[in-house]
Amino acid sequence: MSNDTYSLEEVSQHKTGKDLWIVVWNHVYNVTDYQEDHPGGKEFLLENAGGDATEAYEDIGHSTDAREILETFRIGKVTDEDWTDHSNDNKMPETKPSRTHIVQNLPPPRHGHTHFAATSLGLFSLVLSLILGRRFSKVLHRLQAAGFWKGFALSSAASLALIAAVTRWAMKNLNIGHRDFQSYPAHFKASSAKPAHKKGINLGVLNAREYQPFPLVDKWNVSHDTIRFVFGLPHPNSVLGLPTGQHIAIRHEVDGKQIARSYTPTSSNKDRGRMELTVKIYQNGKLTPWLKGLRKGDTVEFRGPKGEMKYHKNLTKEMGMIAGGTGITPMFQIIRRICEDPRDDTKLTLLYANKTDEDILLREELDTFAKENEQFTVHYVLGSPPEGWQGLSGRINKQMMEQYLPGPAGDDSKVLVCGPDPMMKAMVDALQERGFKAPSEFSKDKHIPHHSNILIPGRISHPRDEIFTFQ
């Protein structure tokens, strides 16, 4: 990799499909040859061609494997004059290979031609003895005269012939133990035929590589600064197809630039023909003011699924959740999945923090789940509680965690955290003090290290929100 330096003006001159540069964390990458293989699609690279793509790159979510691949296209860094001090971090997340694969050449196989020749010779001798037995051997003549022995000999001959044929085919076609990676083509041509969809199976309408327009069919205020949006899917029987724990991206052009943000739907795949988003509106935000102004019939472009976390039933025996504000949306997705699945026995406890009781989102749904499911408990925590408030007050602290949430127990317990940055930092520190394994770094790196106890599925209802899983 080169240590050359480039100004942003120089980078801006490389913004076509045949000559495409981007800047990520103040490093310059020539991604012209990366377009077709980019996991987010070449459209993302073209949208950010010739400019600083750091914010968009982190917002769209990339695994460590993707970061490692990107590093092979680095050609230098930006000049000191154009160096950008990013608000949430001042260096590129460190990427290290998670594992090394070594291809070794095995010794050449022993071919079975000798064994096959011997088997064939034995089979030929047996058949010859049966044919010439009457003329040259009294013993063989008597064996052939006996019906039992004659049948036995014939069946043995047939079995040997079958075994010989099968053995030869297997040695030729199944001798894969000694094949190295060069024995196979680099690419397999995909079938041009469309996959057959079984009757009654709905695979979901989301597309992870391309944005699709969905129309707004309804919206209403759920609090003074939060709106519930309902978008229609292509068919009344369509399902979104979003795995639990993952999220979707919305894009819109603002001031001539494509802006993308990620959100977690509060609906599930059981909600056919619709997708619901609960979004907090930030007056100074880049995307949410536009969302607020949408009217019924307006379309919004969506892409997904995004994120690396995929919840499955009975992932752990006991799960704690700490949410703040709109950080409830990814939690609600998992809560709903657990409570609506009678086969999922996970014990679930939620600590949900807000300023006032009017700020509590999805309260009716949460209370209903708690009432109808003994395995789920919710505790509301208010910073400014009203008179007569019966719930918890102040900020979520270590004492509340010890009283209501599970303690560290390896794979048998997990704690999910999602909320604004200051809250996230405080909760991370408190959980570490309690004995939970710490994340590799409290940053925007959304990779899930397999050796770590922290899962980071990605952005959710507000660009600054992230979700961590402690165990």
Residue 340 has pLDDT above 50, yes or no: yes
Lowest-pLDDT range of 128-132, 188-192, 353-357: 188-192
What would you measure as the largest C-alpha separation in the chain, in angstroms?
Answer: 116
Place of tokens 């200051």: 422
Q: Note the pLDDT tens digit of each residue in 106-160.
A: 455 555 555 556 666 666 666 666 555 555 556 555 655 555 555 656 666 666 6
pLDDT of residue 52: 85
Higher pLDDT, 218 or 418: 218
Instruction: Determine what percent of the chain is predicted with pLDDT higher than 70.
Output: 66
115 catalytic residue (yes or no): no
Please say if 346 is a catalytic residue.
no
pLDDT in tens, 422-437: 888 899 889 888 888 8
Residues in contact with 250: Cβ distance below 8 Å, sequence separation at least 6, in sequence order: 260, 261, 262, 263, 287, 291, 300, 301, 302
pLDDT 10s digits, 128-140: 665 555 555 565 5
Average pLDDT, the chain: 76
339 flagged as catalytic: no
Give the pLDDT of residue 383. 95
Check residues 187 and 304 and name the one with the higher pLDDT.
Answer: 304
Q: At what angle do helices 138-145 and 113-136 cross, to 10 degrees?
A: 90
Catalytic residue among 6, 263, 311, 380: 263
Catalytic, out of 14, 27, 62, 247? 247
Report the alpha-carbon distance of residue 284 to residue 273 in Å, rounded: 32
In the structure, what pLDDT confidence band is assigned to residue 298 with cuts at 50, 70 and 90?
A: very high
Interatomic CA distance for residues 287 and 50, integer angstroms? 23
Which residues make Cβ contacts (< 8 Å) with residue 171, sequence separation at least 6? 111, 112, 116
Higher pLDDT, 281 or 184: 281
Cα distances from 121 to residues 111, 136, 155, in angstroms, run 18, 20, 17
pLDDT of residue 186: 43
Catalytic residue among 226, 264, 349, 469: 264
Active site residue 247: yes
**Amino acid letter at 217?**
V
| Phi, psi at 41, each rounded to 5° | 90, 150
Residue 411: Cβ-neighbour burial (10 angstroms; 0-12, 13-18, 19+): exposed
Token couple for 77: 């860094």
What pLDDT shows up at residue 127? 60
pTM of the predicted protein model: 0.55
Catalytic residue, candidates 418, 447, 462, 469: 418
Place of tokens 């129309």: 215
- Render pLDDT for 254-271 as a digit per residue (tens, 0 to 9): 888 888 888 999 999 889
Q: What percent of the chain has pLDDT over 90?
A: 36
